[in-house]
């Protein structure tokens, strides 16, 4: 070879869009391609960008193999760089072309570092060489694979173990379970983190115990959404609760969580839980009035199947289904990340419940974009989230159930809003309320 390295620049066209959006598959294919060519793998780093696209690089003893994909164009661009005579990058090329189902390709080979243009100098390296040869060669390599949830300006990334434990398209959404390094298994719907094993307690304790410990005697509870079971698990810790009706539209979410997130889904076998696989909007439309002490709206984000759970028609029905001193709590998105939805939904509740009965509160959830998340507490009549709280009862409950986030102090503190959040809520004149749909 009359160059230090061979560098193949590759364009793959009309690939399988599914395959080139699947970070685990791409990483495995790139590893196999490198091995097939005879390379020594040192490390791999891959990122998936929600909803589309993967970037990654395999560092090999003989240089690197890199890839960037645009599934929406069925296009992948690669560069395969090898040094020395021991391996042939075209072996990797052939393999990857088939692996990604590319129908066409174009490629060019560059000779990198041509000796007649270079001058070799002598470096005194024996000492360094000696050291290197004595260090044990590791047989494993470092995998660095990332899931990323993002909008145009903000992203949240979680490193995971590389294999998707579950990935299927249901009638409503893409349901995935990944195994993250820092937060355990995570439920991802349509590319958005819904919950993770290690921080789910923040969301589920705060969406449930705030209303259930404010209400003096909560017996009948309705949960709309919440197919992972976390909210129901918390509600059923309350002795007064006689019945939890859980209405989830997507059975696949329940099945995936039962299998991979049993810490959340234990409550599905509880005798006081009644599960309805149906659309929450239809459910509340047909539900008789004055049925529930507490209604919890544990929805996904307002895209896809949850869009209708962010409309004033839906909340008018929720209001009707509540008993006279009933309480509704809904997840109301991030003031930082979903500012418009946060503002619009607040005014939607204000119009229906009356502004003095609407109290947003905030919590800290590390695996949600921006880390700050909000809920909105709305009472039909008189129960105030702080004044009506029985501190002693809340204290006993906290200790008895070894809660991890909720305690009576954080219950009260969560309603003390940062100034910028207060300002957002006061900007009614800037909010163009859409009568039907509230969108981000």
Residues classed as catalytic: 298
Binding segment for ligand SPD (CB under 6 A), chosen from 28-36, 140-148, 164-172, 227-235, is 227-235
**Residue selected from 79, 176, 199, 228 as contacting ligand SPD according to rule CB under 6 A:** 228
Decide whether 220 or 374 has the Cβ nearer to ligand SPD.
374
Q: Taking a C-beta distance cutoff of 8 angstroms, is the pair 410, 205 a contact?
A: no
Binding segment for ligand SPD (CB under 6 A), chosen from 37-45, 158-166, 228-236, 252-260, is 228-236
SS3 assignment, position 224: strand
Min dist CB 298 to ligand SPD, Å, is: 5
Min dist CB 365 to ligand SPD, Å, is: 8
**Residue selected from 173, 331, 332, 343 as contacting ligand SPD according to rule CB under 6 A:** 331
The CA distance from 99 to 17, in Å, is 12
When asked if residue 234 is in the footprint of ligand SPD (CB under 6 A), the reply is no
Token readout for 341 is 């939805």
When asked if residue 301 is in the footprint of ligand SPD (CB under 6 A), the reply is yes
Token readout for 177 is 């379970």
When asked if residue 363 is in the footprint of ligand SPD (CB under 6 A), the reply is no
Binding segment for ligand SPD (CB under 6 A), chosen from 19-27, 60-68, 107-115, 296-304, is 296-304
Decide whether 213 or 254 has the Cβ nearer to ligand SPD.
254
Q: Taking a C-beta distance cutoff of 8 angstroms, is the pair 229, 254 a contact?
A: yes
Buried b / exposed e over 355-390, threshold 16 CB at 10 Å, is: eebbbbbbbebebbbbebbbbbbbbbeebebbeebe
Token readout for 119 is 């001058």
Min dist CB 29 to ligand SPD, Å, is: 30
Q: What is the 3-state secondary structure (H, E, C) of 146-213?
A: EEEEECCCCEEEEEEEEEEEEEEECCCCEEEEEEECCCEEEEEECCEEEEECCCHHHHHHHHHHHHHH
When asked if residue 195 is in the footprint of ligand SPD (CB under 6 A), the reply is yes
**Residue selected from 12, 147, 183, 203 as contacting ligand SPD according to rule CB under 6 A:** 203
Min dist CB 299 to ligand SPD, Å, is: 6
Binding segment for ligand SPD (CB under 6 A), chosen from 114-122, 188-196, 288-296, 339-347, is 188-196
The CA distance from 400 to 383, in Å, is 24
When asked if residue 191 is in the footprint of ligand SPD (CB under 6 A), the reply is no
Closest by Cα among 157, 133, 135, 127 to 145: 157
**Residue selected from 192, 284, 321, 328 as contacting ligand SPD according to rule CB under 6 A:** 192
Which DSSP symbol is given to 39? P
The CA distance from 167 to 170, in Å, is 10
When asked if residue 248 is in the footprint of ligand SPD (CB under 6 A), the reply is no
Query: Among positive and negative, which fits the CA dihedral 246, 252, 253, 258?
Result: positive
Interface with ligand SPD (CB under 6 A): 192, 194-195, 203, 226, 228, 230-231, 298, 300-301, 331, 368
């Amino acid at each position: 070879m009359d160059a230090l390295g061979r560098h193949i620049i590759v364009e793959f066209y009309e690939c399988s869009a599914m395959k080139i959006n699947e970070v685990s598959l791409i990483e495995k294919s790139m590893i196999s391609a490198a091995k097939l060519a005879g390379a020594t793998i040192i490390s791999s780093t891959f990122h998936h960008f929600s909803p589309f696209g993967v970037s990654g690089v395999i560092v090999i003893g003989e240089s690197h193999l890199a890839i960037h994909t645009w599934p929406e164009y069925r296009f992948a661009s690669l560069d395969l760089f090898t040094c020395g005579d021991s391996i042939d990058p075209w072996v990797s090329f052939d393999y990857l072309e088939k692996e990604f189902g590319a129908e066409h390709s174009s490629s060019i080979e560059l000779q990198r570092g041509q000796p007649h243009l270079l001058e070799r100098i002598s470096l005194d390296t024996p000492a360094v060489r000696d050291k290197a040869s004595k260090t044990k060669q590791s047989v494993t390599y470092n995998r660095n694979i990332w899931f990323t949830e993002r909008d145009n300006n903000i992203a949240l990334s979680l490193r995971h173990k590389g294999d998707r434990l579950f990935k299927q398209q249901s009638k409503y959404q893409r349901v995935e379970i990944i195994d993250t390094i820092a937060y355990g298994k995570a439920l991802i719907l349509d590319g958005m983190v819904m919950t993770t094993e290690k921080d789910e307690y923040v969301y589920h304790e705060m969406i449930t115990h705030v209303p259930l410990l404010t209400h003096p005697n909560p017996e009948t509870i309705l949960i709309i959404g919440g197919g992972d079971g976390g909210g129901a698990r918390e509600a059923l810790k309350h002795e007064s609760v006689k019945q939890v009706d859980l209405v989830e539209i997507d059975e696949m979410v329940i099945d995936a969580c039962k299998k991979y997130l049993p810490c959340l889904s234990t409550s599905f076998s509880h005798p006081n839980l009644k599960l309805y696989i149906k659309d929450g909007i239809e459910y509340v439309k047909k539900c008789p009035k004055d049925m529930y002490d507490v209604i919890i709206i544990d929805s996904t984000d307002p895209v896809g199947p949850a869009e209708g759970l962010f409309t004033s028609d839906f909340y008018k029905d929720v209001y009707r289904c509540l008993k006279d001193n009933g309480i509704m709590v809904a997840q109301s998105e991030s003031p930082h990340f979903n500012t418009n939805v946060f503002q619009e939904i607040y005014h939607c509740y204000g119009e229906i419940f009356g502004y003095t009965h609407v109290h947003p509160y905030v919590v800290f959830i590390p695996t949600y974009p921006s880390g700050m998340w909000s809920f909105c507490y709305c009472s039909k009549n008189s129960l105030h989230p702080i004044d009506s709280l029985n501190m002693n009862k809340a204290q006993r409950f906290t200790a008895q159930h070894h809660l991890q986030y909720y305690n009576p102090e954080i219950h009260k503190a969560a309603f003390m809003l940062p100034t910028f959040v207060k300002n957002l809520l006061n900007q009614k004149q800037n909010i163009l309320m859409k009568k039907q749909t509230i969108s981000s």
